[in-house]
Amino acid sequence: MAQGCLKCLKYTMCVANFLCFMCGVAVLGFGVYMMMNFNLMSLTPRLSNINIPKMLLISGIIITCVAFLGFLGALKENRCLLLTFFLMLFLLMLVELTAACLLLVFEEKIGEAVKEDLKKGLDEAKKQKGNSSMSDWDMVQNTFYCCGIYNSSDWDSKVPKSCCQTECETAHPHYKTQGCLEKLNNWFEKNFLITGISVIILCIIEVLGMCFAMTLFCHISRSGLGYKI
């Protein structure tokens, strides 16, 4: 009976880690796609080193590596791989919890930094109309139906077509009234609950993964098959 349960646990870990591996590959591919097609963090120059495409790339690589370790460790019943899998999951959970605490503590400062960077990004786009910064602003303004940081006056006399509610060719074009900062804040607030729930679910999955890995590790240690290949 115990052997049957442990076999079930082993193959459950294999299937779960294989699915996580495929998810990691998908995240990695999406990160590559975004890096090749978008450069949204040109709107915020100081945060260019932690832009979304790079974060997706790093997340995809970490997920695939950890999932591969868990899959191979369970399949081969290898104590070394299982222990590495356990430690990596534990470290990931610590990093996630630390990041969540830092975001809560420095939420206001981060908001101010993003606001300042948006102003710098908009000033840069006004100086070099037609470059990648300008196209990024166009995409954001079309996606969130907004104009500038606060309103169309942020663009001075160089208001782009993406700010127009109707055709810009008229003598008195009508611009979108809401700024992108307000729209982005509203979007983040709406998705904050979903993000929080996702983090909690992810932590629960990681704890279960650590429990399964340690259970399998202890069984293999008792059976003397610690380095079976």
What is the C-alpha to C-alpha distance for residues 137 and 141, in angstroms, rounded to an integer?
6
pTM of the model: 0.67
- How high is the pLDDT of residue 229? 42
- How high is the pLDDT of residue 133? 52
CB 83 within 8 A of CB 23: no
What is the C-alpha to C-alpha distance for residues 190 and 93, in angstroms, rounded to an integer?
25
What is the C-alpha to C-alpha distance for residues 11 and 118, in angstroms, rounded to an integer?
49
What is the C-alpha to C-alpha distance for residues 17 and 68, in angstroms, rounded to an integer?
7
- For the record, the structure tokens of 225 come out as 């098959």
pLDDT in tens, 43-101: 555 555 555 667 778 888 888 888 898 888 888 888 888 889 999 889 888 887 887 78
Check residue 175 and report its DSSP letter. Answer: B
What is the C-alpha to C-alpha distance for residues 191 and 186, in angstroms, rounded to an integer?
9
pLDDT in tens, 92-101: 888 878 877 8
- How high is the pLDDT of residue 161? 82
Burial class (CB in 10 A: 0-12, 13-18, 19+), 163: buried
Q: How far is CA 166 from CA 142, 162, 202, in A?
A: 12, 10, 44
Low-confidence ranges of the chain (pLDDT < 70): 1-4, 37-53, 128-135, 167, 169-172, 191-192, 195, 223-229
